[in-house]
Structure 1
Amino acid sequence: MNAGDIARLADVGRAAVSNWRRRYDDFPQPVGGTAASPLFSLPEVEDWLRRNGKSYEMSLGERVWQRLRASGDDLRLGDLVGCAGAFLLFLRRDPGGWREAARSSEPAKRLHQAAATATADLPVPVDWSLIDARLYRLLADLAAEQGPLGAFELLCERYVVAHSRQLSVTRADIAELVARLARLEESPAGESLTVLDPSCGVGAMLLPFTGARVLGQESGDTAALLTAVRLLLRDARAEVVAGDSLRLDGFPDLRADVVVCDPPFNERAWGYEELTGDPRWEYGLPPRGESELAWVQHCLAHVRPGGLVAILMPVAAAGRRPGKRIRGNLLRAGALRAVVTLAPGGPDLWLLRRPAGERPSSLVLLMDGTGGLPGVEAAWRAFTADPESEAPGTGHAVRIIDLLDDEVDLTPARHRPYREEEDPALGFAAVRDRFHAAVAALPQYTPAIAALAETRDLPSTTIGELVRAGLVTIHQGPPKMPADLGEVPVLTAADLAGGGGPSGRTSHDPGHITLEAGDVVATSTTEGAARTVTEGGAVLGSQLHLYRVDHDRMDPDFLAGYLRYAGAATRAYPGASRVDARRVRIPRLSLPEQRVYGRAFRELLALEDRLRETTALGETLIRLGFDGLIGGHLRPNG
């Protein structure tokens, strides 16, 4: 285990572990790793913590992960996780098979035979000897505690963190956005769709499509195995193939309804020489340095006429000169329908349709979606319904003929139109005045917080203990909130982080959790957003938790403050994307003292909101200034 694992085990910060190593001569010596990231023996660490009176708690999931990681070197960690996943799939499909094998005279042999039979549809053979009998028993215990799917997702997330430099995993919010866009193709639930991901990695882009028929291919055996297990544990109609899609296509005759892809970027060894005459290059031979354009055409070759391709691309692919001929041909054919910038520095989302014989569209949607992903769906929906209409938000339709110049640059920022209220000649002075007023008002939002002569050491408790004592009740939002145009407002994670009101909409459902004034809502991720609800009526969105307090014994703003700022320090494990909020520590204070702290936390959040607004005004002022000076609408004074 590394220093971060020890910190989580003892519920302290990483700095405390560094201090222990310096101050205590008997602290365990590294048994592996590197000088910058040493690894320690778990039994030795546990023994040292006991001898030195340091309290610690190791969950079953943590014990399974440490045992799994100790079963081989890091080069085989993926194979170990894949083997564990195959065993969990065996438990899911044949719950009694494990117990029957364990009671037999040859338990290992019977287990391997039964598990291999139950998981014969996996894309690669599983080496069942990688894991010993004790670890199989621990995995069975973890599956009983969290379910086979929950147990495997925990292991997968740990694996991704451990190999974060080698693995590139699509952000969950981007994968969900792509799934929502794809579901517009037919039914909202997507049950009739056939979806292909020819570069599926560990399956992130396919997971939101578990109601559809999902097909995936990945060049690495380990990643293909992990993807298959993740999908099959969700009872998906799935088929995953191991192999390089460009060189050895696993689905040569497939024409899917939707193709999604997050391909490897900047790959020069993608097969340029051997694939020069490939019939997939309908829009032009991809240059050696433009592997992403090879993936675009591969995806188009595998979608039915009129079907949707959603592919993530590097920002540079929209404007690099070697690829301008292919970009121009995609536009002329009406195949490329939208380019959306999802985050500063990328990636971009390209939305394409395979031409179905109708007259090509004369417009393409260009959009800067860095302000929030929910607006991308609204803009695409509006553009699909009527390309001539004005897209909501920062999306705008551009005439294709205006893009077919010497560069064929499709970068959304280069084609952003002036809005009347943002015209440099008219808007610069107005925005400057608003910016000055906002800056001048900031001091009044600074809370009255005084420094103490010495740090207070207050007795504390955890949110888990508060729940057991009846002071707090926790509710969890749904894993996915169906996106429709219903009448019920939904508070989303983006609303919570930005301090705005409910922006989502859904239909009535008795399973929804309705918010009440005084509830505390927090994200389940390490972003640490948490606020007290001031108006009830909306329902709790996905990836959110609701904390309903006993107002006679606890102040909600006090709780929200500690969730907001202490949450990131109690993540489920170092580098994880989820927070174990029950471990957040909160001082034991009387209700009047809580209210004083709660007011200070509330004032800090108000200051944060005001700073965000001021920053947005400043960015607009800077952009208008550059646009006006360069475009001849403004001139410097003096």
Structure 2
Amino acid sequence: MNTPTGQLAIKDIAALANVTRAAVSNWRSRYQDFPSPTPQSPARRPLFDLQEILSWLKANDLLAQDAATRSVEFSLKATINLLRASTLEPINSTFLTLYLLALHKQAATTTSDSWQSVADSSTTAQLHQAISDAPVPARHLPADAPAFVCEIITHLPETLAPDLINGFNSLEIEDYGQAATLTIDSILGLGGRGSSSEFGTSKSASSALLVNAAATTIKDGDTIFDPACGIGGTALSLSTRGTNLNVIGNDIELVSAFIATIHAYLADIPATFTHGDSLANDPHPGLSAQTIVTEPPLAMRLDREIQQSLLAEAGIDASTVFSEEAFVLYILSHLAPGGRGYVLTGMSTGYSGRSTQFRQALVARNALEAVVQLPQGLLSYSSIPTMLWVIQSPEHSQEASVLIADASEASQPEAHIGQWLTELRAGIDASIPTGKISLAELITNEGSLVPAQLLRKDRSSQEVHQELEQSSTQLHDVLELIHSAQSAEGEFFEHLPTAAAVSSLHQLIARKIISRQRPTRRLNAPDESPETGLQARQITSRHRGNEAKIVTVEKDTPLLQDGDIVLPRIGTSPAWVFTADGSRWVAPLGFLVLRVNNQAFDPHYLAACINASFNEAPQLGLPIARRELKQIQIPHLDIDQQREVARSLEKLNDLHNQAEELSKLTVKTMDAAINVIRYGSSSR
């Protein structure tokens, strides 16, 4: 038996000793005889010689009890670390390692003696020749795969080849599938970050979510297809969810398809992986699959010809599609009758205006079974929130509707997605908000398919009245504790009216009841001197302060007037009514200025409604939530009622300013009052 060689990272040493990384770092500082990093080791991520570490741990009686049984794992990691310390791209290091493992397996399971030539290689040139002469190990691996490996080898340092081969010669592998998984996780693992993390690993949450979702509909003997499979992790994981499954994957990147093929060979999984552009030149034009899964590239623009071809083949009428929608169309054209497709997309697919027609067409054709909104952090390479789209062949239902679920606040969605989908389909209560919307409701909602927004429920009249009573009582109790506060007399709201009708802010603007003022444009060009413009103070909050920025704007810029409503587009910042003070004030870009043109509406009442909880900006996957005028609702009251409500709210606002301790209760009472106006009518 050969002596294991290679290098260990600090985390590997910690695993050998069954301690934390901090403990290993402590040993390095405390013990002068602790092995030094290897000469070529990166300074920020030091690597240590395997044999030196083993000797030191044994001498200090620090080896973990299971170290002997995990010797193959540590030896393989040590060998992999030789490549990690080189300048090879992580994806190429992965392919080279897996290819050598495949040759190693070929020698162990067949009569091939090709590994002997590899084992005898002591130079890069000899290794290059041995790989060229060896038969291709995996059945579905293309004949040009050895040439690809040889190209990678040419970039290896000359001194690395013998150490690398010695490392592989020392391995006594029983489970090659486990060795393949360990290789991928070690090189392309989540800890690597960067561009390599897009390939996913056995720990990939997005892959686990797709697997657990698709497993709810897989039947024995089904064909499973991933048209953008990457290194094949999702497709290979699905191979264990049934018997006699026909697993097929395709990826546009050649090396990714190679890795998937070798992984399948090492794990003894009968799967086929191909290389090609699924959208532009479909490698599987006649394929019909019962289950299709994919995590497509996000928000990529496609050639117009490709878009039109996909739309025509799927029978969907839409003006334009991006990469996520394109893969949905591709899935539709390859789904077998009764089949399901599971697609992970960004949030924009659910709300973007350019995709409105696409979403409505899917629902109209009964091609969309469900949409599940997911939390941030699911993807290994991005923190953006995502959505799961469950596509179905149109034969499933005659009702043009779609199931929706909001898991945006849920933890570990990958572990629970199967249960949620099962509950959704059965129509039973789930642990997350769920529902169902019709095509008519989708169109009424302007085509938006954002579950968190659609599942925001109206509140009952009894509930909002009780909330107002409770918050008012709590506020009185706190006031009694503040001796310096002015006594509050009577009820905060007497004869509070309720609204029988509601208009959106957009509708009020269209009817010219409210006008939207032209945005401020600052003068920044070289020829735009202060003489060509107007100097004004720039307001950024209700509290102006004494150090407001002086800006130069166009001379015809509309200045803020007394009673203007200043509305930040950022959804968490409140609107307020501007009070003139004799100075020139303008609002910056990113702020809306609304001017009331009709005496039938009170600006203070409008501002209060804008700030109400039922007008809270929806979370659409953007870094900052933004208000949409079409979504802001204004309950109708007559002007006297508005002013009375506004006066009452102003009293409460004064109380809020008197003491910071009252802040939360005051805001709650104000919101409760507006909720009564919005939801409190017994005729609703």
TM-score (norm 1): 0.57
Q: What is residue 156 of structure 1 aligned with on the other side?
A: 184
Gap change, CA 1:75 and 1:89, over 3 Å in 2: closer
Corresponding position of 1:64: 76
1:262 to 278, 283, 295: 295
Distance in 2, matches of 1:183 and 1:301, equals 21
Distance 2:443 2:229 in 1: 33
Between 19-28 and 7-16, the greater mean CA deviation after superposition: 19-28
CA separation of 1:325 and 1:68: change in aligned 2, threshold 3 A? same
Instruction: Tell me, in whole angstroms, the C-alpha distance in 2 between the residues paired with 1:6 and 1:105.
Output: 29
Matched-pair contact (CA < 8 Å) for 1:94–1:118: no
Evaluate the alpha carbon distance shift between residue 107 and residue 16 of structure 1 in structure 2; reply closer, same or farther with a 3 A threshold: closer
Residues 216 and 629 of structure 1: CA distance in aligned 2, closer, same or farther (over 3 Å): farther
Instruction: Tell me: CA distance 1:12–1:180, structure 2 relative to 1, closer, same or farther (3 Å).
Output: closer
Taking a change above 3 Å as real, the CA distance of residues 84 and 376 of structure 1, as seen in their structure-2 partners, is closer
1:338-391 Cα deviation digits (max 9, x unpaired): 1112334532111011324x7642321110232564664345335546xxx455
Q: Which moved more, 1:126-135 or 1:69-78?
A: 126-135
- Which residue matches 2:229? 200
Question: Aligned pair in 2 of structure 1 residues 320, 31: CA closer, same or farther (>3 Å)?
Answer: farther
Distance in 1 (CA, whole Å) between partners of 2:291 and 2:78 is: 39
**Cα offset for 1:165?**
1.9
- Cα 1:56/1:626, change in 2 over 3 Å: farther
Larger Rg: 2
The 8 Å contact of residues 107 and 115 in structure 2, kept in 1 or not, is answered as no
Per the alignment, do residues 366 and 155 of structure 1 end up closer, same or farther by CA in structure 2, a change over 3 Å counting? Answer: same
User: Residues of 2 paired with 1:7 and 1:377: CA distance?
Assistant: 36
* 265, 269, 276: which one aligns with 1:236: 269
Distance 1:50 1:185 in 2: 50
What's the CA shift string for 1:114-165, capped at 9, x where partnerless?
A: 8534324125603555495764564465453x41111111111101226432
Tell me the amino acid that sits aligned with residue 86 of structure 2. Answer: D
Q: Which residue of 136, 141, 149 corresponds with 1:122? A: 141
Paired residue for 2:405?
367
In structure 2, the residue corresponding to 1:62 is in which secondary structure?
helix
Q: CA deviation at 1:312?
A: 0.6
Does the aligned pair in 2 maintain the 1:49–1:56 contact within 8 Å? no
User: Is the partner of 1:75 in helix, strand or coil?
Assistant: coil
SS at match of 1:277: helix
* Corresponding residue number in structure 2 for 1:39: 46
Question: Residue deviations 1:239-265, cap 9 Å, x none?
Answer: 111233223322122222111011122
Q: Is the 8 A contact 2:373 2:386 kept in 1?
A: yes
Matches within 5 A, 1:51-450: 55=62, 59-71=71-83, 73-92=86-105, 95-97=108-110, 100-101=113-114, 112=131, 116-123=135-142, 125-126=145-146, 130=153, 132=161, 135=164, 138-139=167-168, 142-144=171-173, 146-161=174-189, 163-166=192-195, 167-168=197-198, 169=200, 175-176=207-208, 178-185=210-217, 187=219, 191-210=220-239, 211=243, 212-268=245-301, 271-273=302-304, 275-280=306-311, 282-284=315-317, 287=320, 290-344=322-376, 346-356=385-395, 360-369=398-407, 370=410, 373=413, 376-381=417-422, 383-384=424-425, 389-393=427-431, 394-405=433-444, 407-416=446-455, 418=457, 424-425=463-464
Distance in 2 between residues matched to 1:19 and 1:231, nearest whole Å: 41
SS, match of residue 145 in structure 2: coil
Question: 1:193 and 1:138 mapped to 2: Cα distance?
Answer: 40
Q: Is the 8 A contact 2:351 2:450 kept in 1?
A: yes
Displacement, 1:427? Answer: 8.1
TM-score of the pair, normalised by structure 2? 0.53
Q: Deviations over 1:5-46 (max 9, x none)?
A: 4554565544455566777899746755766x3434536974
Residue 605 (structure 1) aligns with: none
Report the aligned-residue RMSD.
Answer: 4.5
**Counterpart contact for 1:32–1:38, Cα < 8 Å:** no
SS at match of 1:301: helix
Cα 1:625–1:198, aligned 2, differ >3 Å: closer, same or farther? Answer: farther
* AA in 1 matched with 2:348: A
Structure 1 counterpart SS, 2:297 = coil
Q: In the alignment, residue 275 of structure 1 is paired with which amino acid?
A: I
Cα distance per residue 1:563-599 (max 9 Å; x no partner): xxxxxxxxxxxxxxxxxxxxxxxxxxxxxxxxxxxxx
Amino acid at match of 1:165: G
SS at structure 1 position matched to 2:234: coil
Point out where structure 2 has 5 or more consecutive residues left out of the alignment. Answer: 1-7, 122-126, 154-159, 377-383, 472-664, 680-684
Q: CA deviation at 1:309?
A: 1.0
Matched residues in 1 for 2:41 and 2:113: separation? 39
State the alpha-carbon separation in 2 of the partners of residues 238 and 353 from structure 1. 24
Residue pair 1:220, 1:243 contacting (<8 A) in 2 also: yes
CA distance in 2, matches of 1:301, 1:401: 25
Tell me the amino acid that sits aligned with residue 235 of structure 1: D
Tell which deviates more after alignment, 414-423 or 118-127. 414-423
Match of 1:613 in 2: none
Range that drifts further, 206-215 or 277-286? 277-286
Equivalent residue letter for 1:182? A
Distance 1:67 1:91, change over 3 A: closer
Tell me the residue number matched to 2:601. none
In structure 1, distance between residues paired with 2:353 and 2:162? 58
Distance 2:31 2:52 in 1: 13
Q: 1:80 to 1:422 in 2, by over 3 A?
A: farther
CA contact (8 A) 2:216 2:418 kept: no
How do 1:474-489 residues align onto structure 2 when only pairs under 5 Å count?
none
Q: Which amino acid aligns with 1:272?
A: D
What one-letter code is carried by the residue in structure 1 that aligns with 2:422? R
TM-superposition CA deviations, 1:51-74 (whole Å, max 9, x none): 996945774323322323324724
- Does the 8 A contact of 1:312 with 1:348 survive in 2? yes
Unmatched segments (≥5 aa) in structure 1? 433-620
8 Å CA contact 1:628, 1:634 repeated in 2: no
| Percentage of matched positions with identical amino acids | 21
Change (3 A) 1:258 1:44: closer
For 2:229, the aligned partner's letter is: C
Give, in whole Å, the separation in 2 of the partners of 1:34 and 1:307.
50
The alpha-carbon distance between structure 1 residues 103 and 275, as it changes in their structure 2 partners (threshold 3 A), is: closer
Contact 2:114 2:135 in 1 (8 A): no
Instruction: Classify 1:199/1:416 alpha carbon distance in 2 versus 1 (closer, same or farther; 3 Å).
Output: same
Equivalent pair of 2:106/2:112 in contact (CA under 8 Å): no
CA change 1:192–1:628 in 2 (3 A) is farther
Distance in 2 (alpha carbons) for counterparts of 1:197 and 1:105: 34
Per-residue deviation at 1:195? 1.2
**Equivalent pairs, count:** 434
The 2-side partners of 1:136 and 1:346 are apart by 44
